Amino acid sequence: MKYYVTTAIDYPNAAPHIGHSYEKIAADTIARYHRLRGDDTFFCMGVDENSQHVPRAADANRAGVIEWVDRMAAAFQGTWAALDVRPDRFIRTAIDTDHARASQELFRRAQAGGDIYKGTYTGYYCHNCNTFYEQGDLTDGKACPNHPTIAPEYLEEENYFFALSRYTDRLIDLLDANPDFIMPRVWGAEIRALLQRGLRDFSVSRPVKSARVVDGKPWGIPVPGDPEHVLYVWFDALTNYATAAGLPDDANRFADWWPADAHVVGKDITRFHCVYWPAMLMAAGLEVPRQVAVHGFMTLEGQRISKTTGNIIDPVELVDEWGADAVRYYLLRDVAFDRDGDFVRANLAQRYVSDLANDLGNLLNRAVSMIGRYRDGVVPTATAPEAPTDAELRTVAEAAVAGTTDCLEAWDFDGALDASWSLVRRANQYVDENQPWKLARDPDADGRLSVVLGTVAEALRLLSTLLAPVMPTACAKMRDQLGLPMAAGGDWLDLTWGRFPPGTKVGAPVPVFPRKDLTDPAR
């Protein structure tokens, strides 16, 4: 099977912060999960460079526009690499020429079908979110609903428009036929209400006179057949998903990868991804995506994340302090996908110590150390009859596999980690109940000791796959210490109890999550 997942592309008007990271880690986790299932997986991310506020950001930072977007693209890619987020394609909408061709092709197809026409726009435009608003949409009639400190600019200009109003009924039919089109389902009610109120046509171009000139050309993708206009950023930006799939240059590739299986976006841009984008695709005669996975907002220590106020955290600094796996684990464990969440440094520290170092790390260290000490490093194969505690651990393990899988399929990351952690906790209890260090001193308990050590090793084998989508580097280290190869495609389908390879020799026990001094005043 094939699986194609994307994230929203970010405005490169400033370096990425922790608020950008959740979505990217979530999508990367899903991509890794599907690869482990054996699916041929494609994962796309990028930056949305054609917005007119990108040149303004360059000016504010006393940089040339091309210099600025190059610098920001490197900053975003460096941040995602630090977080172990590994896209297969990173699109730059102003630089990648195939993207310009794809955007123009989509425009031409919609225009040929009679869904694009020229008219005059009168209303308000927020440069920060690149959104047109009517006065009734503004907070207190003045402020952008997404940027409360910004008063949108009043505009009256000639634009091309997309006939979105023609697609109201077809979009309602889409939601009726596919209840999981918007996931989690809690986010779908707002879109359905929007559709039931009726849709307005929206602008898909800006006049060249409104665009910044860079290297003698207006900043943006030209409207095909009309050099006096550039494509409006949403019509351009949304097309990146089709660009990556091969539109319009590679018909065979596009046929293989389209439609996308999941677009991962924040709740503030559901209108564009769940209404505008499907309608644009319908107008172009293309299939709509199978699903839009929507996540909530993140606050920082209870306050809105804001570059203006300086209430931000650099993800790279967090990785330097805690490691990528700990940051990924904390965000997906403590910030639920289907609602807003809060990033709290103290909670990250607590999760690191209690869950990662004490629970998972200690379980691995004890198992590898005892196998090395009592069995010359070779994982024993159980030969004695199964005891009640063995059967109970096996039952918990099987439930953990099923629960983790079901939750990942439903974009419930904290639920998936809770399911996996039930096995971490029970395996630790199993070690304490069976006390292999005492069994090692009893010659008559040699068979029982083998069963206990082999059982714990088997639990860890399963965990090293279950947790790999969230903590890829840590799980690779776990598997190395257990003497197992790196998790690979198809391993998820082999999460059956009792498959630890006979005769496997463990490695040296090295803490995967080294203990940290949380009393350090510098922390």
Q: Three-state DSSP class for 437? A: helix
- How high is the pLDDT of residue 145? 74
Q: Is residue 102 part of a domain?
A: no
Extract the tokens encoding 246. Answer: 């091969």
- Residues paired with 143 in a beta bridge: 139
Q: Is residue 453 part of a domain?
A: yes
Q: Three-state DSSP class for 373? A: helix
What length does the chain have? 523
Residue 12: which of 76, 64, 83, 105 has the closest Cα? Answer: 76
| Average pLDDT per consecutive 10 residues, the chain (523 residues; last block may be shorter) | 97 91 97 98 97 90 96 97 98 97 98 94 66 69 69 78 96 96 90 93 90 91 95 91 98 98 96 97 98 94 74 90 98 94 95 97 98 97 80 96 97 98 98 97 95 96 98 98 94 93 96 82 47
* 343 DSSP 8-state letter: E
Q: Is residue 478 part of a domain?
A: yes
Q: Is residue 426 part of a domain?
A: yes
Tokens 């690149």 correspond to 130
Extract the tokens encoding 391. Answer: 């059967």
- How high is the pLDDT of residue 132? 66
Q: What b/e sequence results for 506-520 when a residue is b if at least 16 CB atoms lie within 10 Å of its CB, and e otherwise?
A: beebeebbeeeeeee
- How high is the pLDDT of residue 522? 45
- How high is the pLDDT of residue 521? 44
Q: Strand pairing of 153-162 and 213-214?
A: unpaired
DSSP codes joined into one string, 211-261: SPEETTEESSPEETTEEEEEE-HHHHHHTHHHHHHTTTT-HHHHHHHPSPS
Q: Is residue 35 part of a domain?
A: no
- How high is the pLDDT of residue 220? 94
- Model pTM score: 0.93
pLDDT tens, residue by residue, 144-191: 776 676 677 766 788 899 999 999 999 999 999 999 999 988 888 889
Determine contact, residues 21/315, Cβ cutoff 8 Å. Answer: yes
State the CB neighbour count (10 A cutoff) for residue 82: 18
CATH number of the domain enclosing 435: 1.10.730.10
Total domain count, the chain: 1
Determine contact, residues 152/133, Cβ cutoff 8 Å. Answer: yes
- How high is the pLDDT of residue 184? 87
Question: Crossing angle of helices 388-409/18-36, nearest 10°?
Answer: 120
Cα 487 versus chain centre, distance:
20
- How high is the pLDDT of residue 341? 93
Q: Is residue 368 part of a domain?
A: yes
Residue 360: which of 508, 515, 493 has the closest Cα? Answer: 515
Domain holding 458, by residue range, is 345-494
- How high is the pLDDT of residue 385? 67
- Residues paired with 126 in a beta bridge: 131
